[in-house]
Amino acid sequence: MELKELLIEVFESNTLIKGVISNKTKASKLDINKIDIKPVLLKTEIFIQFTNYVGNQVLHENLNIYEAKERLLRYMESDFKQMVLFTKDGDHQVLVSKKGKVKIISKEPSKNLVEISHNRQKQYILKEGTPYSFLTYLGVMTEEGKVKQQRYDKFKQLNRYLELVEDVVGNIDQDFIRIIDFGCGKAYLTFALYHYLVEVLNKDVEIIGLDLKENVIQFGNETAKALGYDKLKFLKGDIQSFNEERPVDMVISLHACDTATDDSLAKGIQWGAKVIMAVPCCQHELFGKVKSDSLNGLLKYGIYKERISALLTDALRASLLEQNGYKVDAVEFISLEHTAKNIMLRAVKSDNQDKNVHEEYDKLKEIFGIKDFHMERNL
């Protein structure tokens, strides 16, 4: 295996415990004498922390895994002759000869370090090493519970999603919970939610995944059947025309397109759902509607206008939720590196309402010259 491949494997599978880069080359112009590296979790993303020893000073730097890989390759090409990576799967010693030839010696992992790293590990809801039937069925994990390298982002996303659910599910203080997942797509998150509520929390639920696409509905129903998830069903339909007579306690809408998010939020409000969670996807509506001479210096640039319009859309959505008796927070869903559409609106039915919220809403619309707004029309 080449050094580049080794670094990609170690970083992407998040198995690094620590590393030491030492033995500087004579030709190196760096002022760093030695470097220690270790993974650190910043918000929702793993970074590699470099501890650089420069004279008497110790300097820290956090790089994302791709920057870290490039940096280490550069260092090992011209500045250092030795690197040791201690990982959960093995200890790897990298040696560079005078002629620049790279040799990698791998052996069994140092046991005590693996134990320390296990103790340090964040307690995720879905744990690596535990085979979950829905994750093995969906190809995220092997039968032994190892997360497949190319599915690691999905695994992290599912855990982050369940963490966000965990924070609010206590607001639905009842044994039976009916949930609609609008625009469920291939439904990885819907299966994760079912697993968490039924198999972890022992709740009695009914979950309906709705989508426009026949193929994803068929896939969802077949998968639910194979897994024995008998209170989970998938229906083909459009959010806007979907009706449910029975009480709905929780509405989910993750990356449903454009105004489909508004339709989901409006349905949730009309049903009086106790929890509503939505991550918008594309927000085109207001791009064609924002107009403000005094903000021309900002809005004349297409990309700023696009981003401002998207943020404005979500602020107006949040406000309408608040106006209808919800407490709303906007939280980061997954790392920006994977998608810019990463802010979740999480709304919980509440008795308290901010008195200024109607005024704020009108003011926002006035500033940006918005005459009408899809979600408002829907309510």
Ligand X SMILES: C[S@@+](CC[C@H](N)C(=O)[O-])C[C@H]1O[C@@H](n2cnc3c(N)ncnc32)[C@H](O)[C@@H]1O
Contact 181, 211 (CB under 8 A): no
Closest CB to ligand X among 148 and 341? Answer: 341
Query: Closest approach of Cβ 148 to ligand X, in Å?
Result: 18
Closest CB to ligand X among 210 and 273? Answer: 210
Closest CB to ligand X among 105 and 257? Answer: 257
Query: Closest approach of Cβ 160 to ligand X, in Å?
Result: 12
Closest CB to ligand X among 213 and 358? Answer: 213
Q: How many CB atoms lie within 10 A of CB 334?
A: 19
Structural tokens at position 236: 């083909």
Interface positions with ligand X (CB under 6 A): 183-185, 188-189, 210-213, 216, 238-239, 254-257, 260, 281
Q: Select from 212, 203, 217 the least CA-distant residue to 249.
A: 203
CA 272 to CA 188: how far, in whole Å? 26
Q: How many CB atoms lie within 10 A of CB 186?
A: 16
Closest CB to ligand X among 75 and 188? Answer: 188
Query: What residue type is assigned to position 219 of the chain?
Result: F
Q: Which residue is nearest to ligand X (CB)?
A: 185
Query: Closest approach of Cβ 46 to ligand X, in Å?
Result: 21
Contact 210, 237 (CB under 8 A): yes
CA 309 to CA 288: how far, in whole Å? 9
Closest CB to ligand X among 81 and 160? Answer: 160
Query: Closest approach of Cβ 302 to ligand X, in Å?
Result: 23
Listing DSSP states for 337-379 in one string gives: TT-S--EEEEEEE-S---TTHHHHHHHHHHHTT----HHHHH-
Query: Closest approach of Cβ 161 to ligand X, in Å?
Result: 9
Residue 56's contacts (CB-CB under 8 Å, 6 or more residues apart) are: none
Structural tokens at position 347: 């709304």
Closest CB to ligand X among 71 and 154? Answer: 154
Closest CB to ligand X among 238 and 337? Answer: 238
CA 207 to CA 232: how far, in whole Å? 5
How buried is residue 65: exposed, middle or buried, by Cβ count under 10 Å (0-12/13-18/19+)? buried
What is residue 333's three-state secondary structure?
coil
Query: Closest approach of Cβ 217 to ligand X, in Å?
Result: 10
Query: Closest approach of Cβ 216 to ligand X, in Å?
Result: 6
Query: Closest approach of Cβ 181 to ligand X, in Å?
Result: 7
Residue 173 Cα to chain centre, angstroms: 26
Element containing residue 227 per DSSP (H, E): helix 214-227
